[in-house]
Amino acid sequence: MKTILKAVFLLCCAMLSASAARAQKKVIIEEESPKGVVLVTIDKAGDEIIRIMNESQLTYIHEPQAPRFLLTDRKGKFALGIGGYVRATAEYDFGGIVDNIDFIPAYIPNGSKIRNQFQMDAGTSTIFLKLVGHTKILGDFVVYTAGNFRDGSSKGFQLRNAYVSFRDITVGYTYGGFMDLGALPSTIDFQGPDGATFYRATQLAYTYKGLKNFRFNASIEMPSVDGTTNDGLTIAQQRMPDFTAYAQYGWNSKSHLRVGGLIRSMTYTDAQSDKAHAVTGFGVQASATFNLGRQWQVFGQATYGKGIGQYLNDISNLNVDIVPNPDNEGKMQALPMLGWYAGLQYNISPKVFLSSTYSMSRLYSENGYPANEADTYRYGQYFVANLFWNVTPDMQVGAEYLRGWRTNFDSSANHANRMNLLVQYSLDRKSVV
């Protein structure tokens, strides 16, 4: 009798466990209020929600992916995703240092006596909120905010994205139109190659997707001008936005070609004439990424222009959007500059890949610049080789070697080496399924 009772008890426990497992997967927390919010697992979200969430993901290694957790309305037409990642790195410089947490060749000091340096960082850990849905007026829409903790030594919260997107219109603060997020290489170094264009801006942008395989984008962006001044020259409030545009042809999810351009007007004041003046800047860019078989990925970018230091990774730290013209007192000028990179990625397995990238940024002299400071930055070089391993769907580890060179106008040069180690745990997933 005891054996029978024991068997019945075990059978009941098994049935309850199976029922609980099914309930955990399918449960919806009901609210009596018609405006109530319900917590659902991903498989309970509507197909439209899943599609919008996946299609709106940004293809960039440092950008969080689709959220693991969703809050949805009762009908499953709107969903709020919560996600992010915890990211910790260890960095060791040797044979020369970079005076920054990121590996920026422009910050390699001239003749530093310090040749070794150890740092750790968790400030790039990121959290985000993402609301998606569909209405008759807005169509598919996305409201996205994200930030990390890189705001100075205090590790304060720093805004990375804050925008709304609907009917191919984007309004808010996000990645600029004069860059190609999908062609950037994978690096542990948070800034990436020195010759890459990388920036965020408050903007109004429109993307046309009406032609198969083609995409066209135009944007109006908040101007930000960093320049070198003197006692008689001052950078003023800007009178015109920056204008960007690009055209892209893609033939699969990981392959595209893009050409783009930018034009800007940079305003400054001259104390001698007590008037405001403007210098025109421009940029042109070509970028690409594509598959070579199943295992190889190729990527690269080249950018040239005048007065576009704000957009180039290395040069953006030099305040050279506009500089005084040594040959024309009381006037400022936009210097020519160039940035490019090229790299390869080899996928050893679905969980492990190798990548390597070489990059260069260069600032050109014009009208006698630099007049009196021969040790001014002329060009920087950046080489990276790394290994990434997705240990689990949620955890990624990596190791990376970096070498950088800085060369000045007087031909003096300095270099640095860095080893990076990464542990990252994601609160999101690559796609919502």
Domain ranges across the chain: 34-429
Q: Which amino acid is at 378?
A: R
Asked if pLDDT for residue 30 goes beyond 50, the answer is: no
**pLDDT at residue 275, as a whole number:** 87
**pLDDT at residue 171, as a whole number:** 98
Residue 56: pLDDT band with limits 50, 70, 90: confident
The angle subtended at Cα 316 by Cα 422 and Cα 178, nearest 5°, is: 90
Contacts of 85 (CB under 8 A, 6+ apart): 64, 125, 126, 424, 425, 426, 427, 428
**pLDDT at residue 41, as a whole number:** 52
Q: Which residue has the tokens 């960082």?
A: 121
Residue 43: pLDDT band with limits 50, 70, 90: low
Written as six digits, the tokens of 160 are: 């990375």
The angle subtended at Cα 77 by Cα 76 and Cα 80, nearest 5°, is: 80
Comparing CA positions, the residue from 8, 96, 79 lying closest to residue 37 is 79
State pLDDT tens for residues 343-378: 999 999 999 999 999 999 999 998 888 877 778 999
Judge contact between 85 and 424, C-beta under 8 A.
yes
Most confident of the following: 169-173, 292-296, 368-372? 169-173
Residue 11 DSSP class: H
Residue 334 DSSP class: P
Domain 34-429 part of CATH 2.40.160.10: yes
Pairwise pLDDT comparison (373 vs 126), residue with the higher score: 126
Share of the chain above pLDDT 90, in %: 69
State pLDDT tens for residues 15-28: 434 433 443 333 33
Lowest mean pLDDT of 118-132, 223-237, 395-409, name the range.
Answer: 223-237
Asked if pLDDT for residue 380 goes beyond 80, the answer is: yes
Lowest mean pLDDT of 75-84, 122-131, 328-337, 344-353, name the range.
Answer: 75-84
**pLDDT at residue 44, as a whole number:** 53
Lowest mean pLDDT of 279-283, 313-317, 369-373, name the range.
Answer: 369-373
Lowest mean pLDDT of 21-30, 150-159, 395-404, name the range.
Answer: 21-30
* 339-373 b/e (C-beta count within 10 Å ≥ 16 → b): bbbbbebebeeeeebebebbbbbbbeeeeebbeee
| Mean pLDDT of the residues in the chain | 87
CA dihedral 9, 15, 16, 22 (to 10 degrees): 170
Tell me how far apart the alpha carbons of residues 210 and 184 are, in angstroms, rounded to a whole number: 25
pTM flag (> 0.75): yes
Asked if pLDDT for residue 231 goes beyond 90, the answer is: no
Please provide the DSSP assignment of 12-79 as one string.
Answer: HHHHHHHHHHHHHHH-----SSTT-EEEE-GGGS-HHHHHHHHHT----TTS--EESEEEEETTSSEE
Lowest mean pLDDT of 114-128, 148-162, 288-302, name the range.
Answer: 148-162
Q: Which amino acid is at 248?
A: Q
Asked if pLDDT for residue 2 goes beyond 50, the answer is: no
CA dihedral 384, 431, 86, 127 (to 10 degrees): 110
Sign of CA pseudo-dihedral 64, 66, 67, 70:
positive
Lowest mean pLDDT of 97-101, 297-301, 343-347, 370-374, name the range.
Answer: 370-374
Pairwise pLDDT comparison (45 vs 20), residue with the higher score: 45
